[in-house]
Amino acid sequence: MFGTEAYGVELTIDADETERLLSVEPADVSSAPELTFAKNVFIPLTTACRYTCTYCTYYDPPGAASLLSPDEIEEICERGADAGCTEALFTFGDDPDDRYTEIYERLDELGHDSIHSYLRQACEIALDCGLLPHSNPGDQTREQMELVADLNASMGVMLETTADVQAHGGPRSKSPAQRIATIATAGELDMPFTTGILVGIGETATDRAESLLTIAALHERYGHVQEIIIQPVVSNERWRGGSPDLETMRKTTAMARAALPEEVSIQSPPNLAPVDELLDCGIDDLGGVSPVTDDYINPEYKWPALRELERIADTAGVPLSERLPVYDRYVSSEWLSPRIEAAIDADTEAGRRFRSLLG
């Protein structure tokens, strides 16, 4: 039995349900009839993070962390829009803490008292350039999310795992309950949401099942989870713990497909996961491909070119379709703010491009 009541979110996962999910094998799920992807530009707004996850090469320590300037954000967005992207993918470390004095001084110079206030300006820049913002700002309070919700087509945070693992440990430990609360807050705010699990960071198979069932329970409550990412941890300069083996990835991906209703996409990132070997495990989305920026989360693993996505779809024998950062079923006033709806409805080149991708 897994449960949480922290941060005002009450959730209980039954042990029988966990056992049932643990019995799922790849042969129990169907291959998807189509694969999808989105074209995005990666915009690492800040590399400051209050946490120090032991597998992460994204964050920089105080003194080395960066904050993109408005001009840099605009330049990346313009390059992305010119290349035909639809999504401005804003990535963060989690809230910078008191150690990052330079980041706060820089924010102050720019007229902001918080990173979320600056994110709001960054989203405005992206929308002005003809891109739809999708922000991944880590854990968020309701107040923080409300500050930027109307300027995002969708948002995301990886749950990673419901387990307390050493990889999140240390003096500033990331808390699963806080992530669960962030996903629940997105549901309360009707924000289409992307989440996922990180495989191989010290969690057990039971933890993976409980994590997937937690996401499923949140989706059942709010209907807002548009996709979940099944991501293996990979070796890098900070992580020497290795990656999960193929059997684990296949089983976990199949468990994800079985845990979530059909409308929720299962994403496998081709730059990190052995996608060719997962095509029969229920994946139906290949995530974002960026023609103009590196993958800043995992800079050692380049995004594959679009050609590579086409090759994967050919291998699967299914069509490949481009999608928006918000899935089609959420493109309505029930889910999107007037500002995002207006961007999609606009009689502009960007608006026409957005509408051409809707099914």
- The per-residue DSSP string of 64-110 comes to T--B--HHHHHHHHHHHHHTT--EEEEE--S---TT-HHHHHHHHHT
Find the part of the chain contacting ligand SF4 (CB under 6 A) among 45-53, 140-148, 211-219, 314-322.
45-53
- The per-residue DSSP string of 226-275 comes to EEEEEEE----SS--S----HHHHHHHHHHHHHHS-TTSEEE--TTTS-G
Minimum CB distance to ligand SF4 smaller for 56 or for 264: 56
Q: What are phi and psi of 233, to 5 degrees?
A: -70, 145
Minimum CB distance to ligand SF4 smaller for 17 or for 207: 207
Write down the least CB distance from residue 93 to ligand SF4, Å.
4
40 near 85, Cβ under 8 Å?
A: yes
Residue 90 touching ligand SF4 (CB under 6 A): no
Minimum CB distance to ligand SF4 smaller for 50 or for 120: 50
Write down the least CB distance from residue 198 to ligand SF4, Å.
8
Show the tokens assigned to 306.
Answer: 């679009």
Find the part of the chain contacting ligand SF4 (CB under 6 A) among 46-54, 66-74, 263-271, 319-327.
46-54
Task: Out of 31, 52, 114, 173, name the contact with ligand SF4 by CB under 6 A.
Answer: 52
Task: Out of 29, 56, 103, 126, name the contact with ligand SF4 by CB under 6 A.
Answer: 56
Task: Out of 13, 24, 45, 53, name the contact with ligand SF4 by CB under 6 A.
Answer: 53
Q: Determine the Cα–Cα distance for residues 322 and 285; give it in Å rounded to an integer.
A: 10
Write down the least CB distance from residue 297 to ligand SF4, Å.
8
Would you state the torsion angle of the CA atoms of residues 156, 309, 211, 137, taken in this order, to the nearest 10 degrees? -20
Residue 94 touching ligand SF4 (CB under 6 A): yes
Task: Out of 2, 37, 42, 51, name the contact with ligand SF4 by CB under 6 A.
Answer: 51
Residue 93 touching ligand SF4 (CB under 6 A): yes
**One character per residue 166-195, x = contact with ligand SF4 (rule: CB under 6 A):** --------x---------------------
By residue count, the chain amounts to 359
Write down the least CB distance from residue 201 to ligand SF4, Å.
10
Q: Determine the Cα–Cα distance for residues 337 and 120; give it in Å rounded to an integer.
A: 14
Q: How far is CA 245 from CA 88, 169, 181, 201, 354, in A?
A: 32, 24, 30, 13, 38
Find the part of the chain contacting ligand SF4 (CB under 6 A) among 2-10, 32-40, 51-59, 279-287.
51-59
77 near 129, Cβ under 8 Å?
A: yes
DSSP reduced 3-state for 40: strand
Minimum CB distance to ligand SF4 smaller for 277 or for 301: 301
Contacts with ligand SF4 by CB under 6 A lie at 49, 51-53, 56, 58-59, 93-94, 138, 174
